[in-house]
Amino acid sequence: MSPQDIELFVALARARAGLKIDPAKTYLLESRLGPLARRENFAGISEMAAALRALREEKLIWAVVEALAQGETGFFRDRTPFTTFRRELLPTLARLRGGEPIRVWSCACGAGQEAYSLAMIAEDAEGLPPGTQVEIYGSDISERSLEKAQAGLYTQFEVQRGLPIRQLLAHFEKVEDNWRLTPRIRQRVRWRRVNLISDLTIMGRFDVIFCRNVLSLMDAPYRRRVLESVAALLPPDGLLILGEGETAESITDAFRPVTGRPGLYVRNPAYRAAAA
């Protein structure tokens, strides 16, 4: 890749998805764009860059952006947020909502493992008020990732990463060398392609939003935009869960942290009042 090719890819990722790509990390660009170039029948990444400049084809532009947006994903990744959701947030919200559905959004779900982890928690939950409904939504910017998520089919390696054997046996079916989630779990999740820097009001209200390990991939102005857009979707007692090491405090006043719970945030009522 030439410096001009790298500049093009970095600019597209930022403009279309708010991503911050370090131009010095050529290995990252090559590892993510190389397979795409081959899939699109280009001789190499530089030839794909030339086609982008010449044609400005939207489909190819988004394929590049989606490839650069790929992140690590896994079942029950960084277990603490899932434990908090199962033991505290879900029971509390079930009491507070009085029969109204509890809406949970995994807003950068990749291949679906986070959303399905939440679905398994909801399926296995005990002691909730009768009739408690949990609606789980998974979204990602990548259509290819969402296709995999909807299929619910994972390799042995993927299910070994973080998934307890009890839940593997309870909620998956063996399909040759792979594992597929049962129809009951797959039907618990609704999927949608969402670009987090676009208008999010179409998503509606949510009680809990998992926005983990995505802000750290974004350029600073877009982090603020995403956080403030997400805040508008939460009720006063709604909760935001960020990834390990991520914070909202230095970015916007829209949230305040929950004491003693790293990564857990509630809406800041003072910010809402100021915005109104």
pLDDT single digits (tens) 140-182: 999 999 999 999 999 999 999 889 999 999 999 999 999 999 9
Same domain as 96, residue 61: no
Please state which of the ranges 68-82, 88-102, 261-275 shows the lowest mean pLDDT: 261-275
Same domain as 89, residue 226: yes
Task: Check residue 164 and give its pLDDT.
Answer: 92
Same domain as 215, residue 98: yes
Query: Does residue 75 fall inside a structural domain?
Result: no
- Residue 36: give its domain's CATH number: 1.10.155
Task: Check residue 226 and give its pLDDT.
Answer: 96
Same domain as 92, residue 56: no
Same domain as 7, residue 114: no
* High-pLDDT (> 70) share of the chain, %: 98
Same domain as 211, residue 124: yes
- Cα(68)–Cα(21) distance, rounded to whole angstroms? 8
Note down the domain range covering 31: 3-68
Q: Give the H/E segment covering residue 241.
A: strand 239-242
Query: Does residue 73 fall inside a structural domain?
Result: no
Among 68, 92, 117, the domain boundary falls at: 68
Q: Please say if the pLDDT value at position 237 is more than 60.
A: yes
- Cα(275)–Cα(255) distance, rounded to whole angstroms? 13
Same domain as 58, residue 25: yes
Query: Does residue 14 fall inside a structural domain?
Result: yes
Query: Does residue 93 fall inside a structural domain?
Result: yes
Same domain as 175, residue 246: yes
Average pLDDT over residues 61-88: 94
Among 46, 68, 90, the domain boundary falls at: 68
CA angle 233, 136, 101 (to 5 degrees): 75
Same domain as 61, residue 10: yes
Burial 26-47 (b: 16+ CB within 10 A, else e): eeebeebbeebbeeeebeebee
- Cα(142)–Cα(148) distance, rounded to whole angstroms? 10
Domain count along the chain: 2
Same domain as 35, residue 128: no
Query: What is the number of other CB atoms lying within 10 angstroms of the CB of residue 8?
Result: 18
Same domain as 92, residue 210: yes
Per-residue confidence band for 273, with pLDDT thresholds at 50, 70 and 90 = very low
Q: Please say if the pLDDT value at position 129 is more than 80.
A: yes
- Residue 105: give its domain's CATH number: 3.40.50.150
Same domain as 93, residue 64: no
Name the amino acid, one letter, at 83.
T
pTM of the model: 0.94
Q: Please say if the pLDDT value at position 276 is more than 80.
A: no
Average pLDDT value over all residues in the chain: 94
Task: Check residue 161 and give its pLDDT.
Answer: 87
Per-residue confidence band for 71, with pLDDT thresholds at 50, 70 and 90 = confident
Task: Check residue 99 and give its pLDDT.
Answer: 86
Task: Check residue 179 and give its pLDDT.
Answer: 98
For tokens 């179409």, the residue is 202
Phi, psi for residue 241 in degrees, rounded to 5: -120, 120
User: By three-state DSSP, how is residue 42 classified?
Assistant: coil
Among 48, 68, 88, the domain boundary falls at: 68
Task: Check residue 272 and give its pLDDT.
Answer: 61
User: By three-state DSSP, how is residue 129 classified?
Assistant: coil
